[in-house]
Amino acid sequence: MLVLKFGGTSVGSVENFKKVVGIVKNTVGTKIIVLSAMSGVTNTLQKISNLLVLNNFKEAKQEIELLDKRYNNVIKNLFSSNTILSRAYTLLKNHNNLLLSFIKNGFSEIEEKVIMAQGELVSTNLFQLLMEEMDEDSCLISALDFMKIDKCGDPQMDTIKEKLLKIINKNPKTNNFITQGFICKNEKNEIDNLKRGGSDYTASLIGSVIDAKQIQIWTDIDGMHNNDPRFVDHTFSIDEISFDEAAELAYFGAKILHPQSIIPAKEKNIPVLVKNTFKPEASGTLIHNNTRSIKIRAIAAKDSITAIKIKSYRMLMAYGFLKKIFEVFEKNETAIDMITTSEVAVSLTIDNTKKIDKITEELKGFGNIEIDNDLSIICIAGDLAQNNKGITSAIFNCLKDISIRMISYGGSNYNLSFLVKTSDKIAVLNLLNKGLFKPINKIKNSILV
Ligand code: ADP
Ligand code: ASP
Ligand code: MG
């Protein structure tokens, strides 16, 4: 079995919906097709929720009406059969009524998650109707019936497997199962989600529990690039990358993949193929276990980083001291990204600052605390263990005029990361692109200069 995930742009318009049907038709075998919400819809749903939290009912209603208009325009051009069109109208009417029903006082967090789930529920229903109209066999299955997270937000793999396999086995003749990315149920059985960009994660979780032959991520670019194409010109698609390298890049800001989406595939050794919906003939990027080694494969950047320095005059490196510091973060459910130590100070970074005040207060018991905001982690991924002579000098030679706040190297063989001011991020990514990569030709791999 294969998993095919299509992102927001891939289902963002009538034309694109039809392209997706074409790709599904051309793919042989049994597939689980995971869809995101149409592009921009989850942002709109987030905006509506934010307005409802503020009791700004007038603007919330306007946004709901605009969304309804967009959907109605899509279905008018998507379907030609009157029966299918009238089913689509009913679907959209119910959807619109649901959103309007939240215009009331006392909007809750649970209701916000119900709203956030609607984008994927609508896109998958429309896609299933389109498959039906085009006489393609398909079966719509609700992710809410099998995708389950525990109270820490982690997927409950055994439950997901058991529930999903039961659904699949009930439909032995179906070739095309359609389901929603991103959405799930939590431990209280409420509707929840896997965080923004979570459809990639849905795809790899499904791939893992069904032991898929391959997980395909269909998006709006011809594979993973060597650098962030939103900020750097002359990036290029990389033909292959290892699970470890891809996991580092995804975690450290390569938006093309959800931060956690590589781990389930890596654990089961299921290749992930990143493809372009708008250029299916391009080979894309294969993420797998058996890559030829390249010193520097790609670069990514993660924003909204806060650095915390704990400066102590005594005891810092005494055993047990770091444990006490880590316990503060554990107690406050805040993950640490980077860490560096010296004899008198420890610096670490976090990206979730919800509990920063409590953390700072508790850390004050250990020394002086300095906090820096608006930082970005730059992550360089590659096979940095092999013959690593010259790699660090090549990297930092590019950055002679840039202030670097922290450096982390040696934590894994696949990642060197450092911290800079976010205002320097674009310059840093471009300097590294110029200094470290020399395209051999337009689409093939690059070498370290
Ligand atoms: P989808 O909606 O299909 O999930 P996303 O917008 O989440 O698509 O991810 C694709 C986008 O990720 C690309 O259009 C590109 O702008 C951005 N991106 C960031 N880093 C990279 C990278 N290293 N390689 C390719 N795309 C990247
Ligand atoms: N629709 C969700 C989002 O925009 C999930 C996804 O697209 O992966 O974040
Ligand atoms: Mg995405």
**pLDDT value at position 315?**
59
* Mutational test site, ligand 2, from 196, 202, 257, 274, max ligand atoms within 8 Å of CB: 196
Contact assessment for residue 417 and residue 380, using Cβ atoms and an 8 Å cutoff: yes
Q: How far is the CA of 229 from the centre of ligand 1 (A)?
A: 8
From the list 239, 235, 278, the residue with the least C-alpha distance to 254 is 235
Q: Residue 402 and residue 388: Cα distance in Å, rounded?
A: 23
Q: Closest ligand 1 atom, CA of 217?
A: 3
C-alpha span between 414 and 407 (Å, rounded): 14
Q: Which ligand is nearest to the CA of 181?
A: 2
Name the residue of 35, 36, 180 to mutate for ligand 2: max ligand atoms within 8 A of Cβ: 36
Q: Which residue's structure tokens are 């967009």?
A: 70
Ligand 2 nearest atom to the CA of residue 198, by list position: 8
- Residue 276 alpha carbon to ligand 1 centre in Å: 10
* Host H or E run for residue 401: none
pLDDT at 385: 83
The H-or-E segment that residue 216 falls in is strand 214-219
Instruction: Please indicate whether residue 256, judged by its CB atom, sits closer than 6 Å to ligand 1.
Output: yes
Residue 28 identity: V
Q: Name the residue of 232, 256, 275, 302 whose CB sits within 8 Å of the most ligand 1 atoms, as the mutation to test its pocket.
A: 256
Distance from C-alpha of 134 to C-alpha of 360, rounded to nearest angstrom: 59
CA 79–ligand 3 middle distance (angstroms): 27
Among protein residues, the one whose CA lies closest to atom 1 of ligand 1: 7
Burial class (CB in 10 A: 0-12, 13-18, 19+), 264: buried
**CA of 120, closest atom in ligand 2:** 1
- The ligand that comes nearest to the alpha carbon of residue 203 is 2
Per-residue pLDDT at 443:
43
Predicted pLDDT of residue 224: 97
Residues belonging to the chain: 449
Instruction: Find, among 437, 444, 441, the residue nearest to 398 by Cα.
Output: 437
> Which portions of the chain are predicted below pLDDT 70?
313-318, 439-449
Asked whether 219 and 277 are in contact (CB, 8 A), the reply is yes
CA 212 to chain centre: 20
321 touches ligand 2 (CB under 6 Å): no
Give the C-alpha distances (Å, rounded to integers) separating 448 from 292, 303, 396, 415. Answer: 15, 26, 13, 16
pTM: 0.94
Distance CA 88, CA 68 (A): 12
- CA-closest residue to ligand 2 atom 8: 197
Phi, psi (deg, nearest 5) at residue 11: -120, 30
What's residue 174's pLDDT?
Answer: 95
Rg (CA), the chain: 24
Enumerate the β-bridge partners of residue 407. Answer: 418
Taking CA atoms, 256 is separated from 172, 217, 230, 305, 365, in Å, by: 33, 9, 11, 19, 41
Does any ligand 2 atom lie closer than 6 A to the CB of residue 182?
A: yes
Helices (H) and strands (E) in the chain, counts: 14, 18
pLDDT of 449: 41
Kindly report the backbone phi and psi dihedral angles of residue 360, in degrees, each rounded to the nearest multiple of 5, phi listed first.
-60, -45
Q: Counting ligands in written order, which one lies closest to the CA of residue 194?
A: 2
Q: What is the 3-state secondary structure (H, E, C) of 160-203?
A: HHHHHHHHHHHCCCCCEEEEECCEEECCCCCEEECCCCCHHHHH
- What does the block give as tokens for 238? 């990389």
Contact between 207 and 268 (Cβ < 8 Å): yes
CA atoms within 13 A on the CB side of 268: 20
Task: Check residue 260 and report its DSSP letter.
Answer: T
From CA 132, how far away is CA 126, in angstroms rounded?
10
Q: Separation of 62 CA from ligand 2 center, angstroms?
A: 22
Residue 256 CA, ligand 3 centroid: distance in Å: 5
Q: Which residues contact 198 (CB under 8 A, 6 or more apart)?
A: 181, 182, 258
Q: Are 394 and 448 in contact (CB under 8 A)?
A: yes
Atom of ligand 2 nearest to the CA of 200: 8
